[in-house]
Structure 1
Amino acid sequence: MSGRSPHEYVPAFNASLFLSANEVDVQSAIDANYPAGVVLPSKVYDDELDTELRVAFDFDGVIADDEAESVFKKNHNLEEFQAHETQKQSIPHQPGPLADLFKKLSFMQKLEEKKLNEDSDYKKILKIAIVTARNAPAHERVVTTLKSWGVSADESFFLGGMQKSRILTILKPHIFFDDQRSHLESPAGDIPMVHVPFGIANKHLINGQHKKQRSPL
């Protein structure tokens, strides 16, 4: 494509996400208020016998907004973060940049579940997973948020600080979305990963700095 910025065609295709390996194009899309992500280099092994499509998401700053992330970043205090999320466990988060994509995938998920109820031999294709560093009791607000949106994940992993790569290498998603580069620079190098440069976790990118400050989310 030449002559125009690729992200300008997002509304024409009714797309929920703009992906590119070009960080400048991704930032241009974000500046135009489109959900966007940077596709990171990876070595991909394509198993022709694998009929599933597995899509994995981080929660904070990806599916949901960065409210909780902002609380942690203020003082880098895990107890303060847990107290905040416990206090607000019955209040859904506001949607994050990939909420619309997640909702559309969840709609397809429900169609597959309906098909499975009609035909017990049907093999589901789509699997949606949430892989987040949250743990109890902060996981309750994730559940509240998904319920309020009428969506669900096939699998949810609340890791409490455990390396996400330990789950990803087993789950083997065909794509994984996270808002923090530090979570994407891992031993799981054969998994297609997308950096979603959204919210306070990526404030350093706006300032042209490249710090690796890992948060619990």
Structure 2
Amino acid sequence: MVKMSLDPVQVKELNVSPSPNGDSRASWEEEEVEEEEEDRLGIATKTKPVSVTDLSSVSPSLCFRLAARMSRTQKLSLPDSRFPFQEASDRGSSELFTTSLFKVWCLRCPPVAHQWGGASDKVTGRRARKVEGGVFFPKPENAVTVAVSSRVLFRTELEQRVFEQKGVEEYLRYQIEHENEPFAPGPAFPFVKALETVNARLRELYPQSEELFDIVLVTYNHAHVGIRLINTINHHNLFIERFCMTGGSSPIGYLKAWQTNLYLSADADKVREALAEGIAAATMFMTEKLTEVSESQLRVAFDGDAVLFSDESERIFKAHGLDKFFQHEQDNEDTLLDHGPLKGFLEALGKLQKKFYAKGQRLDCPIRTYLVTARSAASSGIRALKTLRAWGLEIDEALFLAGAPKGPMLEKIRPHIYFDDQMFHVEGAAEMGTVAAHVPYGVAQKHNQPQKPGARK
């Protein structure tokens, strides 16, 4: 396997200035250098180290162009010691290009104000850091991985209409023609920004920890559309480095490989497919009215039955009515409910919360969780609370509404996302400006009628 060095890239002075669409453009300016350096490849170069600050705002597409320019003009200083895998006489342009591209990309990731390879050896920023000559990202088994579809992270309704009305070829042509126009934020955008806020706090407390949110952008798009997505991510200053562009194929296998903790998509069929594979997933919808949410604290609200818990009690209610449901819950008060599809995600949130508690920041924790259920407290709420306690999970706030509408309560909470298994409640929350996600799981999917006043759910 080829092992690449991360020693300083030697290139001409690069001046970078932002463009109106958030991308960056660069111009090359040669500076007079009194002495020429000749590396062991026999390439005479006039070189100057580029500081990381010169490249911190450069778009990925410019990194590719920069690497190609460096390789084409041979403005590299590459001693043999940096290429232990190959004899000097065998080094071709492809190796030079690959190595220069890799180095430029590594330079771009950490926006810190010192020269690569300078006085400081510690490079931090985004989620990556330099360790033992490589760029490091959290391993999937350690991170809380959230996979987000491009259709819910950004607003792509116009592009979707082009695809549906004119077909895939015209759709790809349209995306390429507009690749420098960033997408507007979609319903999952505030949620993703809140995840990054939590990451920033975690890095302050645990600089070496891999226990962070890791965001993966998942899209059915062809790779050609990736340039527009990358430009949009840079425009909005999002820290998303992992992409999964499937070209129309199902992403579920990749979600399992990423060890995904949560998958958010606009495609209800793919969400059901993910749930069937044991992956926490929910369908998100575009809404015109959005309530302003916190920029310093991630707030996540969950329904109880068929979301955190199984649909066992829901089945009793649907089959036998409210009285039988109450009796069933009282008879089984000390019997734990089985887990539901989102239990694992609440568990992952709790794991990160405890890292803040360990530093004495319980009251200033940037993660807050809510249980918002139509269960009543006295007659059926105790079983839910005992189950959470037995699982070792904490809910910061629990609201037992006894059948009252959830929308007004959610409007007060202002969560970044609310999960419910019934579209009736999802639509009611959306009308009040809450970003609500539908979990298509359990017996309620067979019952589309609105619930009666006072009924449990």
TM-score when normalising by structure 1:
0.87
Structure-2 separation of matches of 1:27 and 1:138: 29
Contact 1:66–1:200 (8 Å) recurs in 2: yes
Which aligned pairs between 1:39-188 and structure 2 lie closer than 5 A? 39-42=284-287, 43-46=289-292, 50-75=295-320, 77-116=321-360, 123-135=364-376, 136-186=378-428, 188=430
Q: Deviations over 1:44-64 (max 9, x none)?
A: 3555x6311100000100000
Q: CA RMSD in A?
A: 1.9
The TM-score, its normalising length taken from structure 2, stands at 0.43
Offset of 1:31 from its aligned partner?
3.9
Deviation at 1:181, TM superposition (A): 0.5
CA distance in 2 between partners of 1:155 and 1:123 (Å): 15
Q: Distance in 1 between matches of 2:429 and 2:314?
A: 24
Structure 1, unpaired ranges of 5+: 205-210
| Aligned partner letter, 1:212 | Q
Partner of 1:25: 270
Specify the SS of the correspondent of 2:359: helix
Q: Unaligned regions of 5+ residues in structure 2, if any? A: 1-244
The answer to whether the 8 A contact 2:280-2:344 is kept is no
**Would you say the 8 A contact 2:307–2:420 is kept in 1?**
yes
How far off is 1:188 after superposition? 4.5
Deviations 1:116-164 (A, max 9, x none): 25xx8x7310000000000122000011100110011000000001110
| Pair 187,12 (structure 1): closer, same or farther in 2 beyond 3 Å | closer
1:199-210 equivalence runs, <5 A: 199-204=442-447
Deviations 1:12-41 (A, max 9, x none): 221122210112222332344433211122
SS at match of 2:257: coil
Report the 3-state secondary structure (helix = DSSP H, G, I; strand = E; otherwise coil) of the residue aligned with 1:86. helix
Identical columns (%): 35
Tell me if 1:4 matches 2:4: no
Say if 1:18 and 1:34, in contact at 8 Å, map to a contact too: yes
What is the total number of aligned residue pairs between the two structures? 206
* Corresponding position of 2:449: 212
C-alpha distance in structure 2 between counterparts of 1:143 and 1:181, whole Å: 25
Contact 1:168/1:188 (8 A) holds in 2: no
